[in-house]
Structure 1
């Protein structure tokens, strides 16, 4: 008996293509809705500094949210802080929207069964395209949670320091990171950044398309594995901070410091991308899929580290 697989009929192939087209259309519609909501939350922002007590209570709410709670009690609790917490689309994704436009961020969540990745775009209005890339990645893949800034990183607060929640500990983004460290037993916090090659201060920086870092001077095995995966695609020069290049390593990043202080259950990735790569990621779904595969499957794909 022949073991050759039968060729699919033209009707079957057409049905597959139509189903795929509907899925892509649904993803694009969801992306458009979520991106507009995020931008609405970023308009006419009046930024304020939360108190330590408020941040502690918010961290507790983030713990409940990441743990999968979706009942009316949590909806009411978030509303007391001026947030709308609600289901989007078919209900797998829930959004957390600052309805007071206080510059406290925009957040998305999936149930705990999603892959343990917290995706962050903290400089979306300065590191151009990073907000859109993060939003498309979140819609297209099974990420657990995502966070976007809604106040510009250089807005100065009454204490004369910028609002940037990468540099401050008194921001909602840091409360989410602390909650993730409490809830997640494994996984990675991926932070997206962008740079211009002409603004770099070293030849290695000016030549780089990607700079990978775990927020420390010494690269971790995870960073080397990711470097090997990224080098499988034509991105340009992929550099590892601490070995290939000594700038844009995120060593004073508050999220990185919190992850390192926690003892190693999670790891932190500071992903710097030049502008051409960011533009390509915005328009090229296949490239987004390729790099998302590297980020999501690092522990499974077994890419050998490059020789050093």
Structure 2
């Protein structure tokens, strides 16, 4: 398959998947518990005031009409206006999303090399002591929810050691990079989860390559250790590993929701948590749709990179 056909197929698949997810996002938010009118009008509002608020928010129209209007606006880049603060959803996301992408990007910079190292170590020695030790360690971390990891790191590195702040407050008028110490604990929490998932995926790919005939031939020639892993196992495992990191990237962006809430980090995840608490449906829908889009783009880029790195492509067009 040519590059043009490959990219076209992936782009069409991404668009169709995002369209399906947009439908799921809208209808799922319709099932959220609570009443947006009560959240906006207040508990002491009269029935007349509640009816006025319902009409102002457009909630007096049938759900299908509201869905079609929301979908049409999303295609134009208009995600509506939030109930709280009456601020455009797209504007708010544009302010918060870079903070979350910074967090996920820094976590990915830690996740990729550590996962490759541990995955190659375990996969190249499948069934041996090193494999069992690495597999047990990452399985333990993978089994811990992110809020538990965050709590442990808070206790160890913030409360007990006092090395980092407990809350990731960004100074007014500045960004997270102005006070990099606030990033350490959220990044470590995300990276720990990313390494746990990434290592297992890389290990599976490396173990398959390590059992290949050309790797066995290299062993018979006396190649071993880091040289064997770097020259013979890594090239064959790199393409599936890159695809795995695409999935991990999506998980990191999604995992930021929990991590930002725990540390009070001003990203899109914390904004989503507050939007759910205030029944701000347009904001919940907009953030969920953008997170889905970020994950799909990460997977698409990983597929493209994996195809370029796949040694089996050879000279195929």
**Is the helix fraction higher in 1 or 2?**
2
Same fold (TM over 0.5): no
Give the structure-1-normalised TM-score. Answer: 0.27
Q: Which has the bigger relative contact order, CA under 8 A and spacing at least 6?
A: 2
Give the structure-2-normalised TM-score. Answer: 0.26
> Larger C-alpha radius of gyration, 1 or 2?
2
**Is the strand fraction higher in 1 or 2?**
1
